Structure 1
């Protein structure tokens, strides 16, 4: 709701009451579809109420692509996420709550953007300082190492490990060849739209190539997850905050083709996410303690906005 009110205010400030009214009318089919989706699938899963010691979040991972590519031992289920974007997922799961038994290792800029690194968790390990300027994202190996360090430093805390992949930009060998999907432009060229914006704008980008690069990003992060699981104890669950639309139309009230992961759009491609359980014999003895100062949060507001823009959120 906060997001929609903020967006409405922006439209009103730039275009006045008429443009605001037009935007509201365009959004009515989405709200109707959301209502029907909720009646069919229920309210969704609050991840903090589930049983796990380590929650590994693969950002923007669709259920079926995960199911096709996971090769780890464990059991695959699905859940309905509370959000179709990272912002909505975090607002619905964490905002105005305290989880002092949990440490959040994050590569996602919305943790500091929503002030969730202050008095929400016992500690937040912010990986944004390790931003790769060439790739315009946080590499998955950086997140894995931060998770290993946190596992050793906080042995009696639950861990949330939030990777940015398979979220664009696509950083695999094939993905790097795609302008806007990977980042092959010159260092001084920062105006190239991301891959989902290109598709929304009708540019001729082969969807087959997009899917190959998207799955390649998933393979990269799954390789890191497999390595991390060998180094942490307790019960681990691999999931996602949301999925992606790759040219689907919403329904049952039809819309034009959609791309990316807009806030507040609830459809299976966006909010049906994997829930892959890897049980271990030993569980951690979890306890809550007062929050401590978060780690790695020295970015300015401008730097945070730049990170969000590079990831397609602006």
Structure 2
């Protein structure tokens, strides 16, 4: 069913305004593409990560399957699975909303974790509140790894779900920081900070901005992956037990959608196309397993709502 704004009066106005016509055509095309994609990759076919066999699950944010397969050098077995979401909040809602996993501690750099109800996990460790790097506009992977080590020591009989923000934008490596946009909203630009928002790098790519190329952004994205993959590999051994690496969703780099052939960038919600919902599932070898028990949930410290909004804004979720 079409939105209510597509009535005869509004359609006449749109036809008389070329700019509005293009905007409405794009919105309608996106709606059609989402509907078609949802039929090809329904959420019901997605992996339920909490039902899988692991002691530690590392979630790499916005990591495409092909990026992981091409660049990782980890031992173990890799397979392709389907995520229930094309964006982090969808991933969290489909996997955790309305459930209880009191045998698990969730260590996360993703601010969307605050949207989950209390009591889903035994404990939620919010790295994005205290470990946020204002110069990078994100939480670096080392800070998440340190929090995971501390959680392992404090909760020796719990599964650990560890959610890194990389390879998600902003790009924190040498190549990425040299690009003209270091933060999604322009709060970080190159090496200099500014409080004035600018177009996101995905908007600039979509607009054909000559100062930004898809190849350069992919290189920066791959660099982000290398940084988080190295950190995750170093973390697996001291945590012990069986570790898997996966992703909450992927990322578009100008792939044309079907049946309306728009090029899309980033990871819009509700668009279930392979580049967004096909993600890695890599199991590292494990010689021993952890004894896991469930206990009543602990109180998670509240994070101020304006802090959450600021973090999401920098990550492109405003």
Q: Classify the secondary structure of the residue corresponding to 1:164.
A: strand
- In 2, Cα distance between the equivalents of 1:155 and 1:24? 51
Q: Classify the secondary structure of the residue corresponding to 2:110.
A: coil
Which structure 2 segments of 5+ residues have no match? 15-23
- In 2, Cα distance between the equivalents of 1:25 and 1:71? 40
- In 2, Cα distance between the equivalents of 1:270 and 1:219? 19
Q: Classify the secondary structure of the residue corresponding to 1:174.
A: helix
Q: Classify the secondary structure of the residue corresponding to 2:249.
A: coil
For the aligned residues, what is the CA RMSD?
Answer: 2.4
* Contact 2:127 2:144 (8 Å CA) reproduced: yes
- In 2, Cα distance between the equivalents of 1:229 and 1:185? 32
- In 1, Cα distance between the equivalents of 2:280 and 2:29? 33
Structure 1 position 200 matched with structure 2 position 206: yes
Deviation at 1:186, TM superposition (A): 3.3
Deviations 1:6-40 (A, max 9, x none): xx89x99xxx9999x974674023202221333xx
Greater gyration radius: 2
Deviation at 1:170, TM superposition (A): 0.2
Deviations 1:139-192 (A, max 9, x none): 100000000010111111110000000000000001001122453263333412
What is aligned with 2:86? Answer: 84
- In 2, Cα distance between the equivalents of 1:196 and 1:26? 16
Structure 1 position 56 matched with structure 2 position 89: no
- In 1, Cα distance between the equivalents of 2:302 and 2:193? 24
The total of aligned residue pairs comes to: 296
Q: Classify the secondary structure of the residue corresponding to 2:174.
A: coil
Deviation at 1:96, TM superposition (A): 1.1
Q: 1:216 aligns with which of 204, 217, 223?
A: 223
- In 1, Cα distance between the equivalents of 2:156 and 2:72? 28
Deviation at 1:259, TM superposition (A): 0.2
- In 2, Cα distance between the equivalents of 1:278 and 1:29? 36
- In 1, Cα distance between the equivalents of 2:106 and 2:37? 33
* Contact 2:105 2:159 (8 Å CA) reproduced: yes
Structure 1 position 29 matched with structure 2 position 52: no
Deviation at 1:195, TM superposition (A): 1.5
Deviation at 1:115, TM superposition (A): 3.1
- In 1, Cα distance between the equivalents of 2:278 and 2:203? 23
Deviation at 1:75, TM superposition (A): 0.6
Normalised by the length of structure 2, the TM-score is 0.87
Which structure 1 segments of 5+ residues have no match? 1-7
Q: Classify the secondary structure of the residue corresponding to 2:286.
A: coil
Q: Classify the secondary structure of the residue corresponding to 2:146.
A: helix
- In 2, Cα distance between the equivalents of 1:286 and 1:164? 26
* Contact 1:181 1:194 (8 Å CA) reproduced: no
